[in-house]
């Protein structure tokens, strides 16, 4: 197991285009989290899954954002009609149950909207 | 909602010296977990140390230790014998049993050779 994998590492898109990111968690981790991190800020919670169920969504997750975790394995985060304000690092993390021992993070996907 | 505050945007320390990074948090919970994460320039977050709120003993991991003051809701990180590889962003985080971890805005640690 090589940890949490995120693809792509970098994505440049034009405003108004749709983008999709993928996260592959550690295989035995049943919880998967998405965060957004803008320059100079800490990670901000977006949403999380327990197995295939999406249990919580932040108000930061506008209706242009959608996340899925089919079959409780990998997850995708899609942003429709991207805006310049969506430019950020999108981080994925996973844990076994409640993260009382913290998360294992992926390396993130850097999105730049031009 | 829980909040985590890191009041030091940037700290600088000489190599081999000791530095303390501050963190305060706000919660109404009595049982929770606190973490310090390190984010090197490569951007992957790495867990440095964790503390369980119901344990009075401060956590220690090699050169890293915490000063946990539950009543004051303070959770500082002490790095002893600072090394060049310690240079990174450091984030304090809180987990109270619901949803996910809440992070502070981070402290940029610079190690002067």
pLDDT tens by residue, A48-66: 999 999 998 888 888 999 9
For residue A59, CA distances in Å to A42, A53, A65 come to 17, 18, 11
Of B113, B2, B24, give the one whose Cα is nearest residue B77: B24
- Cβ of A41 and B52 within 8 Å? no
Give yes or no for residue A1 having a pLDDT over 60: no
Q: Which residues of A touch B43 (CB under 8 A)?
A: 89, 107-108
What is the b/e burial string over A89-110, where b = at least 16 CB atoms within 10 angstroms of the residue's CB? Answer: bbbbbbbeeebeebbbbbbbbb
CA A49 to chain centre: 11
Rounded Cα gap, residues A50 and B42, in angstroms: 28
Indicate yes or no: CB of A42 within 8 angstroms of CB of B97.
Answer: no
Q: What is the pLDDT of residues A83-108, one digit of tens each?
A: 999 999 999 999 998 888 889 999 99
Of A99, A101, A105, the CB nearest to B44: A105
Structure confidence by residue, pLDDT tens digits, B76-109:
999 999 999 999 999 999 998 777 899 999 999 9
In the predicted model, is pLDDT for residue B42 greater than 90? no
């Amino acid at each position: 197991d090589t940890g949490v994998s995120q693809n792509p590492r970098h994505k440049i898109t034009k405003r108004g285009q749709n983008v999709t990111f993928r996260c592959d968690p550690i295989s035995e981790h049943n919880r998967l989290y998405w965060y957004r991190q803008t320059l100079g800020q800490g990670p901000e919670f977006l949403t999380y899954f327990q197995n295939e169920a999406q249990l919580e969504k932040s108000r930061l997750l506008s209706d242009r954002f959608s996340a899925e975790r089919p079959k409780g394995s990998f997850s995708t985060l899609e942003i429709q009609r991207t805006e310049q304000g969506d430019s950020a690092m999108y981080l994925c993390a996973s844990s076994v149950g409640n993260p009382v021992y913290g998360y294992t993070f992926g390396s993130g996907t850097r999105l730049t909207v031009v | 909602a829980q909040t985590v505050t890191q009041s030091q945007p940037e700290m600088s320390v000489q190599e081999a010296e000791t530095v303390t990074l501050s963190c305060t948090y706000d919660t109404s919970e009595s049982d929770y977990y606190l973490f310090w994460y390190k984010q090197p320039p490569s951007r992957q977050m790495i867990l440095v140390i964790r503390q369980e709120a119901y344990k009075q003993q401060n956590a220690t991991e090699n050169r890293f230790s915490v000063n946990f003051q539950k009543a004051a809701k303070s959770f500082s990180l002490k790095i002893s014998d600072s090394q060049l590889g310690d240079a990174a962003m450091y984030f304090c985080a809180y987990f109270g049993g619901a949803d996910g971890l809440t992070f502070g805005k981070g402290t940029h640690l610079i190690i002067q050779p």
